[in-house]
Amino acid sequence: MRIIGLDPGLRHTGWGVIDKQGSHLSFVAAGVISVPTDGPLSERLARLHTLLSAVIDQYQPNEAAVEETFVNMNPASTLKLGQARGVVLMTPAEKGLPVGEYTPNQIKKMIVGVGHAEKPQVDMMMRRLLPTVPEKIPADASDALAIAICHSFLQGR
């Protein structure tokens, strides 16, 4: 089974693709979709959809996993992130993929064993589970791989 993990953002959306065969996980690819910060929001969201569609078409995952949004102190930023997350949820669903959703604490607990783990701990454990991940990948891509791993564990396939 091939899983794409997605870490939504309006500026940068991380993506990571893994394969799962039995209990064995393997790294396929990871990256970040960056959308220009200028221009109307509708065009930025459309661009995110187009670029994410291309990634899904290229790697042909069977399932997708998306991190749930946390609410921050700035309501306007939270609303924009929610709109980007809507695009990130809709795009794989539009392509017929089942989409799992996970809270940051669920992801950390599945990867590290502790729901309030720090990012470096999550990155270290993700690399232990996927030892062929390149040394230098963006943090958003690393998070997306952790989301995909979480999905693979919780789906039990």
Catalytic one of 63, 123, 140, 143: 140
Look at residues 133, 105, 141 and name the one whose alpha carbon lies nearest to residue 28.
133
Question: Is position 67 annotated as part of the catalytic site?
Answer: yes
Question: Is position 140 annotated as part of the catalytic site?
Answer: yes
Question: Could you give the residue ranges of the DSSP H alpha helices within 20-155?
Answer: 41-59, 75-94, 104-112, 119-129, 139-155
| Residue 53 to residue 115: CA distance in whole angstroms | 31
Catalytic one of 63, 67, 123, 143: 67
| Residue 35 to residue 32: CA distance in whole angstroms | 10
| Residue 114: both structure tokens together | 């502790």
Catalytic one of 7, 63, 123, 143: 7
* 3-state secondary structure at position 138: coil
Please give the DSSP secondary-structure letter assigned to residue 113. Answer: S
C-alpha R_g of the chain = 15
Give the active site residues. Answer: 7, 67, 140
